[in-house]
Amino acid sequence: MSEHRHSRAANGRTRTGIAALVLSAVLLIGATAAPLAPAAAAPAAASRAPVSVTSAVPTGLSSAVAPPTASGWLHTSGGSILTASGAPYVIKGVSWFGMETSNCAPHGLWTISLASGLDQIKSMGFTTLRLPFSNECLASSVTTSINGAVNPDLMNKTPQELLDIVVSKAAAAGLNVILDRHRPDSGAQSELWYTAQYSEARWIADWQALATRYRNDPTVIGVDLHNEPHGPACWGCGNPDTDWQAAATRGGNAVLAANPNLLILVEGIENQASGSSTWWGGGLSGVAAKPVTLTVPNRVVYSPHDYPASVYAQKWFSASSYPANLTSVWDANWGYISRNGIAPVLVGEFGSKLETTSDTQWMSAIVGYLAANKTSFAYWSFNPNSGDTGGIVADDWVTPQATKLAALAPLLTSGATTPLPTASATPAPPATPKPTSSPTATPTATPKPTATPTATPKPTASPTATPKPTATPKPTATPTATPKPTATAKPTATPTATPKPTATPTGTPKPTAAAGATLTWQLQNSWSAGYVAEFLVTGTTGVKGWTVTWPDTKATSIVNAWGMTCTLKAKTSITCTGSDWAAAVPAGQTARVGVQVAAGAAPVSPTLTVTTR
């Protein structure tokens, strides 16, 4: 979903008596798949016809072999997901992001071990890890921000090798994995499934390589073909450059040709044929007339995203009938799909910091809706460094967020969300996996998490120009990316021998008033080489545009920004101007934007100069 996320200091850092349901699982012991070269540059495609598997799968790929997981391979029937034995199964997932960012590694490994994070996820009652990645990371040779003192077996691994280890350790923890192609490159979310740099052929080739790599490992139960199509993406419109329904059909068929056992998750679009708009990836009303039909039956699972008003003030949140109207919104956009037996639904992202009454009402409603309809889900996110939603653990990456887990309890503890019992004996829960022998050297560079650039599912201000149809999936213009990254993590625990960023308390920030709006500076965290700051831009009478400048004599460069564009005047100041979804801020609404700065020190309470129009 949105990766405009980044959590603030969490309330209540003591562990509480959470009713964590530890599901029975088998301790899986198996060798990690042999390191394989990621898919090379995609073969040239003469047309948008389905790509041949034999020509798209790089040679030399071997298949990892692993014992069955708790669920094994899954398939669909009508509106339900079933196990191989035909038992109804509801996937209970959570996203752990980072492998789609420039770190090319799950975030938080600068503080906790991979195994402990996965065990924590399992202990909370989740059954599945949704793992975002980027095509850029698949081809990279380097991962960053991993603490070798607590993750010695992850050092000096390529991102693909690290992905193998994540899958292996997830199996050992009793978790399934859904691979999520979150973005093509590691810097920004794309509107469409391809960009000028990453063609459709590359997208398909990389998916086929992954499907082949894990085809004998039922730990990997599904693939999320592309995260949050939006902007010009359409459903069944017939334009080969923007028709996501047609592209998902091509991509799904190519994946299933490599591994026919996988579930194919297909997200929705933002701007629907009816003229209505919803969350990025959230609109699936077009499925009624034009479903995705694949050559292998019983594989499609539709995967919308949904968020509360704190992420974006969709019109239904201000209706007089809110929150009672949410059921009809969900029914129209995606709920009807499983209810009418077209296909199952897995809500691929939903989450909130639960800091407002409106968000609390939304969370209660969607949890009740999912539970009543026995709908699969993947919560966003495990990570606390999610700007829009925060995480399921606090900023120390360990302490459970009791309020959020209590809100999710009807989903995580409901017997209806687990496979029906069988006659087989219940195996003992797995022991905590031990790292294998591996180098123990601590990385010389201090891990510094970069901003997390997943796309926030906010409606675009206006539809972007539709690329001109061409014979190949390479548009003449690069689709405009509208990334809304999260700020970096704010771990409070500092593992031995490897300094980490620490949360930087700023007290109660005071807003700076300007004509039509106020801006509030929030220093999210800082470390020896930089900092992340967010601004809350609140419309009083509303503004069509805004700019903020603050003094910073220690800054050396702008690393990333979301919701605004920023420039640096060396040894003097930084100036940022609202852009994209945060350019205009109507009266009564608040936009949360942010910037990551490379600097020798962070300003704590700088004087803001704000201009508006």
CATH of the domain at 337: 3.20.20.80
53 part of a folded domain? no
Q: Let me know whether 182 and 83 are in one domain.
A: yes
Q: Under DSSP, is residue 313 helix (H, G, I), strand (E, B) or coil?
A: coil
Residue 527 has what pLDDT?
66
Which H, E and C letters describe 479-498, residue by residue?
CCCCCCCECCCCCCCCCCCC
Q: Tell me whether the omega of the peptide bond preceding residue 381 falls within 30 degrees of 0, making it cis.
A: yes
496 part of a folded domain? no
Of 3, 100, 136, 349, catalytic = 349
Which CATH number covers residue 587? 2.60.40.290
Which range among 338-342, 425-429, 513-517, 606-610 shows the weakest confidence by mean pLDDT? Answer: 425-429
Q: Let me know whether 260 and 400 are in one domain.
A: yes
Contacts of 371 (CB under 8 A, 6+ apart): 410, 411, 414, 416, 417
Both tokens of 267, joined, read: 């997200």
Is residue 534 among the annotated active site residues?
A: no
> Residue 129 in contact with residue 379, Cβ under 8 Å?
no
* Cα(543)–Cα(516) distance, integer angstroms: 5
Q: Under DSSP, is residue 574 helix (H, G, I), strand (E, B) or coil?
A: strand
76 part of a folded domain? yes
Q: What are the backbone angles phi and psi of residue 360, rounded to the nearest 5°?
A: -65, -40
Average pLDDT over every residue of 378-395: 95
Residue 531 has what pLDDT?
83
Average pLDDT over every residue of 175-191: 95
- The better pLDDT of the pair 605, 166 is held by 166
Q: What is the pLDDT of residues 1-14, one digit of tens each?
A: 544 433 222 222 22
Average pLDDT over every residue of 47-57: 31
Residue 508 has what pLDDT?
59
Q: Let me know whether 170 and 72 are in one domain.
A: yes
Q: Let me know whether 412 and 531 are in one domain.
A: no
Length of the chain: 613
Mean model confidence pLDDT for the chain: 79
82 part of a folded domain? yes
Number of H helices, E strands in the chain: 10, 20
Residue 528 has what pLDDT?
67
337 part of a folded domain? yes
Sign of CA dihedral 389, 395, 398, 399: negative
> Residue 351 in contact with residue 389, Cβ under 8 Å?
yes
Average pLDDT over every residue of 63-80: 72
Average pLDDT over every residue of 482-493: 36
Contacts of 420 (CB under 8 A, 6+ apart): 87, 88
> Residue 164 in contact with residue 64, Cβ under 8 Å?
yes
Among 417, 432, 447, the domain-final residue is 417
- The better pLDDT of the pair 380, 20 is held by 380
Q: What is the pLDDT of residues 573-591, one digit of tens each?
A: 999 999 876 899 999 888 8
Count CB-CB contacts under 10 A for residue 147. 27
Which range among 211-220, 373-382, 432-441 shows the weakest confidence by mean pLDDT? Answer: 432-441
Q: Count up the domains in the chain and report the number.
A: 2
State the pairing for strand pair 80-83/263-266: unpaired
Q: Under DSSP, is residue 220 helix (H, G, I), strand (E, B) or coil?
A: strand
Sign of CA dihedral 61, 66, 69, 74: positive
Q: What are the backbone angles phi and psi of residue 611, rounded to the nearest 5°?
A: -125, 145
pLDDT-derived band at 475 (thresholds 50, 70, 90) equals very low
Q: Let me know whether 270 and 175 are in one domain.
A: yes
Closest CA to 105 of 60, 67, 154, 70: 154
Among 400, 417, 434, the domain-final residue is 417
- The better pLDDT of the pair 459, 403 is held by 403
> Residue 189 in contact with residue 562, Cβ under 8 Å?
no
Task: Please classify residue 136 by burial: count the beta carbons closer than 10 Å to its beta carbon, then call 0-12 exposed, 13-18 middle and 19+ buried.
Answer: buried
Q: Let me know whether 401 and 510 are in one domain.
A: no
> Residue 63 in contact with residue 213, Cβ under 8 Å?
yes
* Cα(191)–Cα(395) distance, integer angstroms: 31
Is residue 349 among the annotated active site residues?
A: yes
> Would you say residue 550 has pLDDT above 90?
yes
Q: Under DSSP, is residue 530 helix (H, G, I), strand (E, B) or coil?
A: strand
User: First CA to last CA across the chain, in angstroms?
Assistant: 31
* Cα(109)–Cα(115) distance, integer angstroms: 10
149 part of a folded domain? yes
Q: Let me know whether 408 and 527 are in one domain.
A: no
Strand partners, 347: 377
Residue 492 has what pLDDT?
35
441 part of a folded domain? no
Task: Please classify residue 162 by burial: count the beta carbons closer than 10 Å to its beta carbon, then call 0-12 exposed, 13-18 middle and 19+ buried.
Answer: buried
Which H, E and C letters describe 318-361, residue by residue?
HCCCCCCCHHHHHHHHHHHHHHCCCCCEEECECCCCCCCHHHHH
Closest CA to 388 of 452, 311, 453: 311
Among 417, 435, 459, the domain-final residue is 417
Q: Let me know whether 209 and 311 are in one domain.
A: yes
Q: What is the pLDDT of residues 292-303, one digit of tens each?
A: 999 999 999 999
Residue 482 has what pLDDT?
36
Q: Let me know whether 271 and 147 are in one domain.
A: yes
> Residue 562 in contact with residue 485, Cβ under 8 Å?
yes
* Cα(506)–Cα(374) distance, integer angstroms: 43
Average pLDDT over every residue of 42-46: 30
Average pLDDT over every residue of 480-494: 36
| CA 353 and chain centroid, separation | 16
- The better pLDDT of the pair 525, 79 is held by 79
Regarding pTM above 0.95, the answer is no
> Residue 110 in contact with residue 447, Cβ under 8 Å?
yes
> Would you say residue 421 has pLDDT above 90?
no
pLDDT-derived band at 55 (thresholds 50, 70, 90) equals very low
Of 228, 267, 270, 534, catalytic = 228
Which of the residue ranges 32-46, 75-89, 430-444, 482-496 has the most confident prediction, judged by mean pLDDT?
A: 75-89
Average pLDDT over every residue of 397-416: 88
194 part of a folded domain? yes
Q: Let me know whether 509 and 413 are in one domain.
A: no
* Cα(575)–Cα(593) distance, integer angstroms: 13
Contacts of 601 (CB under 8 A, 6+ apart): 526, 554
pLDDT-derived band at 385 (thresholds 50, 70, 90) equals very high
Count CB-CB contacts under 10 A for residue 53. 18
- Where in the sequence is the domain holding 392, given as residue range(s)? 68-417
Q: Let me know whether 388 and 515 are in one domain.
A: no
Q: How many CA atoms lie within 13 A of 434 on its CB side?
A: 2
> Would you say residue 314 has pLDDT above 90?
yes
* Cα(276)–Cα(588) distance, integer angstroms: 23
* Cα(107)–Cα(524) distance, integer angstroms: 16
Both tokens of 105, joined, read: 């590694």
Residue 469 has what pLDDT?
34
* Cα(271)–Cα(111) distance, integer angstroms: 40
> Would you say residue 22 has pLDDT above 80?
no
Q: Let me know whether 138 and 268 are in one domain.
A: yes
